């Protein structure tokens, strides 16, 4: 009999739980209104929450998620003598456990809409694999009956307890933030729909914007993102005091001309890192590396698929256009086929996007234009982050092993901004003077 641990949703009767484990056999997560033994710290990884190994889970009422080999299933049981009832199940190659990989399985429990959702990786619409809406297709009268019948599971008056199998540390997995994340994490809200990746300043929001839900408004950003947004929203690449000699022209000349500083620097770089990181200011240990970085993307170049160490971020395009490819959370080890993006979008000059611990955390940037692109990237650990992972984890193909591996990149610096600006402007001025 497996050992089990308990936790409680931080908001009465709703939320999303993320269960990060490597499972070689099927597992079940139970949500119950029946009071359970919960650790004082409410830390799922704490020894205080662990049942005795021989003790089985016994409760009169629960909704459960079972994930097995090539299947996932929602079940419900009400009252001790009633049989379990299958609410919904799906079968497929990618829906079940991944026995060789450390994976985040998530379970969204929507109290108000009476909707269950299950998925893997980041909690998003695109990663949802199983969904059961109790009220779908029901009349108003039927809805009232269902809400009354299942009120024990879906109400705001009572706490809901989570019971899941405990897990030991995976000793043979090395590297990556995913290894040291807590086994069970909670978000206070269920997954309803995605937030937009495009940021719009709240002072410029219209009634149409509110209705169409096409933007993330700046005042609604996570606090760490909001701080970064306020710091960089007014930045521009060109300096108005010198309207003739543009920094963009100097950068383009240095990138495209053999013997110039940026051209030669780019020759030194691996293909998957063939862009420039120009840092601004000191490393205050508030983010992975120096928090403010001007990144210069030559035409046709991009980054590898990577996360941001769970940190928050704001990205603004200062010149040109960049394509953002969004991916699911990287497993450890990563998928052994090339990862496909969940979604993609272009950012034009002056546009901004955001990154949170769950939202748009894993991406690949690429410049598909015939000119260079410049972006300001800024990072800050979420205010609730207790790890402060110092690296970006990325997927790299190791040719001698002929497989993809999760590798770590400590954000470094190719130049400081003041030095870069002085160097490329001097080079360009000499070119103009002949």
Residues 65 and 137 in one domain: yes
CA gap 151, 155 in Å, rounded: 6
- Residue 172: which CATH number? 2.60.120
Residue with tokens 């990154």: 355
| Global model pTM greater than 0.85 | yes
What SS3 class is residue 418?
helix
Residues 152 and 228 in one domain: no
Residues 183 and 213 in one domain: no
Residues 393 and 354 in one domain: yes
CA gap 8, 98 in Å, rounded: 26
Domain termination residue (choose one: 145, 165, 187): 187
Residues 318 and 244 in one domain: yes
Residue 193: inside a domain: no
Containing structural domain, residue 65: 3-187
What are 108's strand-pairing partners? 16, 117
Residues 274 and 179 in one domain: no
What SS3 class is residue 175?
coil
Residue 256: inside a domain: yes
Cis peptide upstream of residue 333 (ω within 30 degrees of 0) = yes
Residue 143: inside a domain: yes
Total domains in the chain come to 2
Distance of CA 406 to the CA centre of its chain: 16
Domain termination residue (choose one: 187, 214, 246): 187
What are 198's strand-pairing partners? 353
286-320: b (≥16 Cβ within 10 Å) or e: ebbbbbbbbbbbbeebbbbbbbbbbbbbbbbbbbb
- Residue 219: which CATH number? 2.60.120.10
Residues 246 and 166 in one domain: no
Q: How far is CA 339 from CA 34, 124, 172, 358, in A?
A: 41, 16, 23, 18
Full pLDDT tens readout for the chain, 434 residues: 567 778 899 999 999 999 998 888 899 999 999 887 665 544 444 433 333 333 456 688 999 999 999 999 999 999 877 789 999 999 998 999 998 889 999 999 999 999 999 999 999 999 999 999 999 999 999 999 999 999 999 999 999 999 987 664 455 556 788 888 888 899 999 999 999 999 999 999 999 999 999 999 999 999 999 999 999 999 999 987 677 789 999 999 999 999 999 999 999 999 999 999 999 999 999 999 999 999 999 999 999 999 999 999 999 999 999 999 999 999 888 887 888 999 999 999 999 999 999 999 999 999 999 999 999 999 999 999 999 999 999 998 888 888 888 999 999 999 999 999 999 999 999 999 98
Residues 50 and 106 in one domain: yes
Residues 180 and 203 in one domain: no
Domain termination residue (choose one: 130, 160, 187): 187
Sheet containing 71-77: order of strands: 4-8, 161-165, 27-32, 62-68, 71-77, 85-91
């Amino acid at each position: 009999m497996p050992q089990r641990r308990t936790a409680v949703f931080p908001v009465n009767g709703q939320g999303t739980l993320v269960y990060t484990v490597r499972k070689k056999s099927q597992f079940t997560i139970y949500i119950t209104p029946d009071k359970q033994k919960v650790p004082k710290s409410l830390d799922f990884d704490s020894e205080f929450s662990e049942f005795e190994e021989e003790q089985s889970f016994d409760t009169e009422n629960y909704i459960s998620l079972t994930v097995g080999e090539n299947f996932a299933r929602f079940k419900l049981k009400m009252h001790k003598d009633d049989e379990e009832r299958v609410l919904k199940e799906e079968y497929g190659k990618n829906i079940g456990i991944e026995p060789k990989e450390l994976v985040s399985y998530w379970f969204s429990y929507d109290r108000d809409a009476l909707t269950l959702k299950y998925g893997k990786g980041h909690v998003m619409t695109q990663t949802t694999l199983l969904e059961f809406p109790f009220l779908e297709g029901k009349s108003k009268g039927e809805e009232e009956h269902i809400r009354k019948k299942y009120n024990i599971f879906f109400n705001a008056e009572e706490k809901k307890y989570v019971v899941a199998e405990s897990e030991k540390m995976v000793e043979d997995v090395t590297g990556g933030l995913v290894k040291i994340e807590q086994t069970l994490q909670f978000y206070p809200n269920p997954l309803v729909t995605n937030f937009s990746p495009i940021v719009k300043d709240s002072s410029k929001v219209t009634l149409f914007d509110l209705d169409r839900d096409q933007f993330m408004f700046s005042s609604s950003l996570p606090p760490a993102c909001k701080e970064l947004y306020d710091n960089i929203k007014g930045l521009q690449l060109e300096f108005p005091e010198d309207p003739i000699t543009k920094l963009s022209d100097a950068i383009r000349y240095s990138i495209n001309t053999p013997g110039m500083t940026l051209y030669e620097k780019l020759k030194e770089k691996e293909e998957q890192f063939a862009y420039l990181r120009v840092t601004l200011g000191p490393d205050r240990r508030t983010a992975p590396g120096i928090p403010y970085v001007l990144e210069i993307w030559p035409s046709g170049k991009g980054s590898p698929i990577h996360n941001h160490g769970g940190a928050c971020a704001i990205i603004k395009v200062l010149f040109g256009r960049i394509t953002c490819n969004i991916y699911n959370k990287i497993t450890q080890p990563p998928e052994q086929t090339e990862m496909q993006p969940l979604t993609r979008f272009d950012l034009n000059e002056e546009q901004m996007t955001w990154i949170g611990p769950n939202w748009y955390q894993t991406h690949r940037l690429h410049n598909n234009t015939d000119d260079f692109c410049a972006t300001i990237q800024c990072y800050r650990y979420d205010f609730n982050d207790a790890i402060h992972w110092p690296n970006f984890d990325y997927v790299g193909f190791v040719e001698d092993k002929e497989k993809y591996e999760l590798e770590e990149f400590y954000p470094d610096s190719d130049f400081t901004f003041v030095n870069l600006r002085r160097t490329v402007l001097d080079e360009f001025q000499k070119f103009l003077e002949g």
